[in-house]
Amino acid sequence: MADALPMRDTAHRKDAPWLTLKMREAMEAWLFISPTLAGFLIFFVGPLIAVVWYSLTEWNLLTQQATFVGLDNYNDALFRNPDFWHVIRNSVVFASGLVPLNMALALALALALSRPFRGVVIFRTVFFAPVVTSAVAWAIVWKFLLQGEAGFINQILALIGIDGPNWLREPNWAMVAVIVTRVIKMVGLNMILYIAALQAIPRDYEAAARLEGASGWQIFSWIIWPLLGPTTLVIMVITTIGSFKVFDHIYQMTGGGPENGTLVLAFYIYQQGFQFFDVGYASALAMIMFVVVMVLTLVQLALRRRDT
């Protein structure tokens, strides 16, 4: 290798004597990353810039007529449209319900399934399977189970004397139903991340703590939980982002109803852009969503830094 490099260098110098070694290396590096960079620019940065531009226009998808309106779309969403704040409230309620429930359940499952025991793989598979199940099939099955009086869930509740609500037809219960069914669908992913993190914790720590007489709860709260910190942060960030972006689940299960009780931001953006063809307004809403998610992520990162 030591011999090969100067030879290659000499050859290059003959072709392009004005290039220094540093410049050549930089050029090679750019060439290597260029396919990924091109994809990133074309499929991420480009559309992002386009959305910023669209958000400053009144653009009808069907007529293809666009007029520059400056910040009017933002002004309308933030100060003139009462539906927008209702939608933001719904998104916050959805995220506030989903994120803690998902994380708590994922951690509980991971603690139960991180150690090897007979059949552990089957249990892990059972809890992970909904993650890879079609969202449409999942929603259809749950809609069926959550029917009113004739629904399976309500019939089970009736057996123990509980008169279940009409889950998907009452605004508050519909929100509970979409949160819980979403948690059941996605919890397997976070469970796997927690299992991986738990398995990376050296057993010696726990053994040493037990020798010192620590209880199970003390081991969890003083050793395991702090060591899970980085994983918890990642899970919290991706689950929060995911909860603000939820669309398919709402589209299939409630269509934003009843009484707009589950009309969340991503669905509202879809409605404005692809049902009302108002691409400019939808783009402004998408930019607001981008900022909200970005701020939440930065806050979470800042809190984590302060804790450590």
Partner 1 sequence: MNTTMKRMTSTALALAMMSGSLSAAELRFTIWTGNEAHLKLLNGFAESFKAKHPDVTVKYETIPPGDYTQKLTFQLAGGNPPDAGWLMEDAAPTFAAAGVLENLGPALQKAQGYDFADFSKPALGLWTAGDKVYGVPFSTSPFVIFYNKDLLDKAGLEDPNALAAKGQWTMVKFQEVAKTLKDATGKWGFEFKDGQGYDTRIMHALMPPIRAAGGDVWANKQCGFDKPEAVAAVKQLHDMVFKDKSIAPPGEQGDYFSGGSAMTINQISRASLMPKAGFKWGIAPLPTGAGGESPVIGQAGIVVFAAGKQKELAAEFVAHMTTKENVAGAAQFFPPARKSVLDSDAFIKSNNLIPPEQMKVVGDAISKGKVLPAHEKSPQILAAMKPRVDALWRANADVDASLKAVCAAIQPLL
Residues that bind partner 1 (CB under 8 A): 60-64, 144, 146-151, 166-169, 255, 257-260, 271, 274-277
Query: Side-chain half-sphere of 47: how many Cα atoms within 13 Å?
Result: 8
In this complex, which beta carbon is closest to partner 1, that of residue 85 or of residue 274? Answer: 274
Q: Which is nearer to partner 1, 19 or 61 (CB)?
A: 61
CA 110 to chain centroid: 19
Report which DSSP code applies to 278: B
Nearer to partner 1, 94 or 268 (CB): 268
Cβ closer to partner 1: 192 or 282?
Answer: 282
| Cβ distance to partner 1 smaller for residue 138 or 268 | 268
Q: How far is the CB of 260 from partner 1 (least distance, A)?
A: 4
Cα(7)–Cα(22) distance, rounded to whole angstroms?
Answer: 16
CB of 292 to partner 1, least distance (A): 23
Nearest to 290 by CA among 256, 248, 241: 241
Please give the structure tokens belonging to residue 164: 């279940």
Cα separation, 89 vs 238, whole angstroms: 20
Q: Give least dist CB 257 to partner 1, A.
A: 5
- Minimum CB distance to partner 1, residue 277 (Å): 7
202: region left, alpha or beta (phi > 0 left; psi from -120 to 50 alpha)? beta
Q: Which residues contact 187 (CB under 8 A, 6 or more apart)?
A: 102, 105, 106, 109, 127, 130
Q: How far is the CB of 58 from partner 1 (least distance, A)?
A: 14
